[in-house]
Amino acid sequence: MLEAVHLTKRYASLPAVQDLSFSLRPGQVLGCLGPNGSGKSTTVKMLTGLLQPTRGVVQFDGHNIQDDLMAYRKRLGYVPEEPHLYPYLTGWEYLELIGTLRGMPRPDLEKKIDSLLELFSLHPNRHASIGSYSKGMRQRILLIAAIMDDPEIFIFDEPLSGLDVTSALIFKNLVQALGRQGKLVFYCSHVLEVVEKVCSDVLILRKGVVIAQDSVTNIGQILGQSLENTFLHLVDDVDTMTVARDIVSVMQMKAA
Amino acid sequence: MITQAADVIFRVWDDHRQRPFWRMVQLFVARIFRGGGDSDADGLDLGIGLVLTLLALPGAFVSLFLMDKYGSLLQWLRGITHVDTLAIVLPDEYFFIVLSMTVTGAVAVWRWDAIFPDRRDYMNLVPLPISTRSIFFANLVAVFFLVGLIACDVNAASCILFPTVVTASQSEFIFFVKFAVIHAVGVLLASVFAFFAVFLALGVLMAVLPPRALQRASAYVRGLVVVYLVGLLCTTFAVPDLLRQAGGHVPSWTALMPSTWFLGLCQSLRARADPVLTALSARVFPGVAAVVWLALCAYAVGYRRHFVRIAEIADTTVIARTPALSNRRWRMGILLDRVALRTPFQQGGFRFICKTMVRSEAHRLVLTGVGGLALVLASQAMLDAFEGARSWRAAALSPDALSIPFILSFLIIVGLRLVFEVPVELRSNWIFQLMLDSNGQECERLAQRVILILVLPGLAAITLPVYAYLENWRVACLHTLLVVTWSVLLTNIVLTRFRKLPFTCTLPLFKQHSFVIMLAFCFGFLIYAVSTPEFESLALLEPVRMLSFVPVAAVAWSIPHFLAKSAIDLDKKLIFEESPTQTIEALRLSD
């Protein structure tokens, strides 16, 4: 089980995340929602061990992940928000590099890379440099890199960004399948429909604080609305229709 | 037996190569060569082989040019029968040491952003089960490997060709071997010193400054290093003579010129050093050791301060500009729009070009290098003008003093023209492809205005008051008028058939006529910055003579206009991709 216990992160004196606690059980797919600046990325970075919390701990199976970060990362698959890849490596070379650095056995690694590239429709482009890949192709490379070592914990930060419809559908089904396999999945996204579809539970953040945490069904029932409306109600006190109308009137504004 | 042994070695090497640590070393070596930074910027992507060849070329060319000096037949034809090779080799040895330091230092400055692991490395490697210590050591091994590779590559040709050329007239092979080994020790140590000195500068900045300040300071420090290297190269021919004239005392300026230490080492190892060179040679090993040690310490501290904390830096760094500065720039922009930039394209294009040149590191570096060269040549001209002159007035009218604004304007105009060719973020040029009329032909005018706006006010601000003070208003106006006219003409010439929006077009690595263009620029420099001031110096004594510049200016004005008119429509279209000219081109009549 992965647990965040009273996590707090401050940058200088500015709090990015405050007293965040939740747990993620095997088989659970926990969605994390929040507007820009709500602390989602900071939370993800603390869960991956990239950031040290100012206060609180992240525990995996009862142990602080910082005690043996290498062992924890061996069991972690992470898809970051931005696809920072080495543009001069080919897709195959990148995956082979990641597999080697993860200590995967060689014959197994090559077979897995080829099969996954085939399944993600990247096999024909495996020897093209990543610099020539589209955003969706890069994203698929990141997904393969995260799953190919069969980790126990998955942390996905906006994993659908740039994916085409088919790849997005495959990925949504994959997340659900991973949940059924007993894996722990932490899923950060702006796309509410996807979170509603693939996640069993949801965590809503606002200004670094948890404002709601429950199963997707229960959260909707609280206000008797869809997840989208519930989210808007909880997070943004904004009349979206009025803002849209204002934007159109500014667009049409002419200099006097 | 040999095959079996080779197989075993190959297998062991292959196993070793596949270990995570060595894979990271390979990754870092590739990254340092192929570029760091956070973006996948489309810059000049040179292959490793090509880079190494280019780095080795200067040493090879210079060695071959020296055949004229050391060839025994040529010496005999000149009537020189007895030559003390080790005595006459001193300036050339010094030149190779400086060349080695300059090229290696320039590589270190060029790869400045890639030497340290960056955010991309962080995002790819840190989430994996690898300790940050392993990443640190893997990068360090990659840096050491690259220093060795670059030092050997830069000096390879000179270590073989230069001793061969110098000792060609000697009958003993051992003389060649000794000479070659000592030369190799000198230039290799000089290369290592130069690389680690730049590495130390970067490491100190990383260890001392917070990320935002580092970003700004690193641009200035890189510029200073480039100016220093250009200065070092330009003073090559003067330094050996200054050392000879030192009179037994080590000059204090040698502390700032480590190249002299390595010259001292070479001459000491050949037992041909005077007391000054002997004293200088004593600085080599402590100097190299200190620089390497300090660079490693700074690297360790910088790594801890920056790389390990990248996740936090990424979340907090937001660079905001001060409103006061933006307001001033805005007002200046309105003034320029009224006076010089009439169309919306020129107004928008001018801002885009200026901001790119100021904010893109590659462009800033090229401009700093050209600016440094201009300053060094201009100061040399100023020294020559005032050396032995009777008065300030007499010096001001000498060809050397008059050449200063010509030198500055020539190098800045040519430098700007060169910088316009260097692409930046080509993937972002879609907006221009979408919005600009490819038949509009406004790019040449825009580039011309940018150059003139950046060059003319500065030149006029220097020449007019200085000559008005030293001479009189008549001389000041005539000199300024000539400098301004020549600058406008040169701008027209360098922009002939320019049909790109600066920075938005691909740049082929080699053009067939690159060598011709280079020769034309060298020849042009002689006419523009040497012959013109000489003639002007005479003409200013009798201003009517200034009229003789008119026909020259008319010819220089008409040539670009004639070429522009004679171009077919296809050659006037705005381009975003320039492919290298094919040696053989198919006519494709069936297409």
Mean pLDDT in residue range B481-497: 93
Segments in B18-131 forming alpha helices (H):
20-34, 48-65, 67-70, 72-77, 85-88, 90-110, 112-115, 119-125
Question: What is the predicted pLDDT for the residue at B522?
Answer: 84
pLDDT tens-digit readout, B402-450:
999 999 999 999 999 989 988 887 877 777 877 777 776 788 889 999 9
Instruction: Report strand pairing: A55-60 vs A29-33.
Output: unpaired
What does the block give as tokens for B110?
């060029």
**Inter-CA distances, B538 with A168, B302, B523, B546, B548, Å:** 78, 58, 22, 9, 12
User: Which of B243-257, B408-422, B433-447, B490-504 is predicted with the least confidence, judged by mean pLDDT?
Assistant: B433-447
The SS3 of residue A23 is: strand
pTM above 0.80, yes or no: no
Q: Per-residue pLDDT tens for A204-241? A: 888 888 888 888 888 767 655 666 666 666 666 667 78
Whether pLDDT at B10 is above 90: no
Residue B217: CB partners within 8 Å, gap ≥ 6? B205, B209
Closest C-alpha to A20, from A234, A207, A210: A210
Structure token digits, residue A124: 């024909």
List of chain A residues whose C-beta atoms are within 8 Å of the C-beta of residue B129? 70-71, 73-74, 101-103
Half-sphere exposure of B201 (CA within 13 A, CB side): 20
Query: What CA dihedral angle connects B381, B385, B387 and B393, to 10 degrees?
Result: -150
- Mind spelling out the 3-state secondary structure of B408-462? HHHHHHHHHHHHHHCCCCHHHHHHHHHHCCCCCCCHHHHHHHHHHHHHHHHHHHH
pLDDT score recorded for residue B144: 93
Best mean pLDDT range from A34-43, A201-210, B485-494: B485-494
Determine contact, residues B536/B406, Cβ cutoff 8 Å.
no
Interface membership of A97 toward B (CB under 8 Å): yes
- Residue B6, CA atoms < 13 Å, CB-side half-sphere: 3
pLDDT-based confidence at B41, cuts 50/70/90? very low
More confident residue, B46 or B2: B2
Radius of gyration in angstroms for the set of CA atoms belonging to chain B, rounded to a whole number:
27
Question: Best of A43, A46, A101, A148 to disrupt the B interface by mutation (most B CBs within 10 Å)?
Answer: A101
Mean per-residue pLDDT, A71-93: 87
Mean of all residue pLDDT scores within chain B: 82
ipTM of the complex: 0.73
* Cα separation, B445 vs B534, whole angstroms: 31
- Cα–Cα distance between B335 and B355 in angstroms, integer? 17
Q: State residue B230's pLDDT score.
A: 82
Total number of residues shown for chain B: 591
What are the residues facing A206 on neighbouring strands? A209
pLDDT at B511: 66
pLDDT tens for each residue of A46-59: 999 888 899 999 99
Q: What is the mean pLDDT of residues B376-385?
A: 77
Q: What is the Cα–Cα distance from B582 to B307, expressed in whole angstroms? A: 45
B481, B486, B485: which is closest to B540 by C-alpha? B481
B476 CA to centre of own chain: 33
Q: Which of A78, A88, A106 is opposite residue B30, by nearest beta carbon?
A: A88
Q: Which of B38, B42, B312 to mutate to test the interface with A (most CBs of A within 10 A)?
A: B312
Interface residue A80 vs chain B (CB under 8 A): yes
Report H helices in B167-247. Answer: 173-208, 211-234, 239-244
Residue type, B583: T
Residues B554, B485: Cα–Cα separation, whole Å: 11
Least confident stretch, B68-77, B153-162, B317-326, B402-411: B317-326
The contacts found for B507-511 with CB under 8 angstroms, 24 or more apart, are B507/B44, B507/B421, B507/B422, B507/B423, B507/B578, B508/B578, B508/B579, B508/B580, B509/B44, B509/B46, B509/B50, B509/B580, B510/B580, B511/B580, B511/B581
Q: Do A88 and B34 touch (CB under 8 A)?
A: yes
**Smallest Cα distance from B538 to chain A, Å:** 59
- Reference A81, options B86, B311, B556, B506; nearest CA is B311
